[in-house]
Amino acid sequence: MRGWLRSIDWLPISISVLALLILLVALPATLGNQQPSESTGYHSVKTECFQSGVRVECPNWLVRNKDTIEAASAITLALFTIALFWSTYGLWDATGTTINDARKSSERELRAYVGVERLDFRVTSQVKGYVPIDPTASNTTYPDYLVVKVKNYGQTPAKNVETKTVVVTGPFLFTLPQGFNYDSFIEQPSTLNNVVTEGFLSKDQPEEVTIPIPDANIVWDARLKNVTIIVFGRIYYRDIFNSSWSTKFCQIWEPWFPLGERFVGSNEFNGEDQRQAPK
């Protein structure tokens, strides 16, 4: 019942009631100003009035209070006009809001959603006799790398997909400090630990981004619980509605987990915003 009452537009109703009260107050006041005649109790002033196209005798109070009645009628008409304006404006505003909300809802349902499907270290080097690779050497090939597999989970394609990934290491069980500026590392010029790939992803289409590992010792040390490896980055893309989106990810590698090696999402820097890719 209360919800039904709240749904009523009370403005035009209030104005209409106010206009009716003006008429109820004005008309008795005009009737009270009449002077009785000697014979009938009321003056019988003849003027031209018409009823159904036939000329009839006008009542005395109507003639004497013509200006008051016209003023009350004008006020009533003005109030009804204001009520109509606000009702129309309210309907237009509500319709516009509804249409805009429906459009946004449709875009949310149909747009692309690109995220990380899997992270995985692929190390083929052997511990015995291993020598780290010099990244400054020419014609360098990397047998060891981190795979970042991204995927479009949305209903429509994603374009201008750009993935940036950073690999950092620290003492065992270390965490990045609170308030760490992830983007200052992600958006620096590309290095071995910050690789960019651009492309187009259709619905459910995956793409693998490979991050070269010049020193595989970090992988073996992490398995021995000597260091902790944290991988973080961003996936920038645009949807079919030409809106920019960015998926943030930050995961910690736990190769010592009893049920097998795994990446676990950190409590920070995971989610989505509309940060645009750096130029």
Q: What is the pLDDT of residue 38?
A: 46
Task: Please compute the mean of the pLDDT values over residues 178-191 and round it to a whole number.
Answer: 83
Span 174-201, average pLDDT = 80
Three-state SS annotation for 64-99: HCHHHHHHHHHHHHHHHHHHHHHHHHHHHHHHHHHH
Closest listed residue to residue 195, CA positions, set 262, 148, 251: 148
Put residue 160 in one of left, alpha, beta given phi > 0 → left and psi -120 to 50 → alpha.
left
| pTM score of the predicted model | 0.66
Share of the chain above pLDDT 70, in %: 71
Q: What is the pLDDT of residue 174?
A: 92
pLDDT for residue 235 is more than 90: yes
**Model confidence at 183, in pLDDT bands (50, 70, 90)?**
very high
**Residue 71 burial (CB count, 10 A):** 13
Q: Residue 115: pLDDT band by 50, 70, 90 thresholds?
A: very high
The lowest-confidence range among 16-30, 106-120, 197-211 is: 16-30
Per-residue pLDDT at 91 exceeds 70 = yes
Report which secondary-structure segment, H or E, holds 117. Answer: strand 114-122
Q: Quick one: tokens of 164?
A: 């940036």
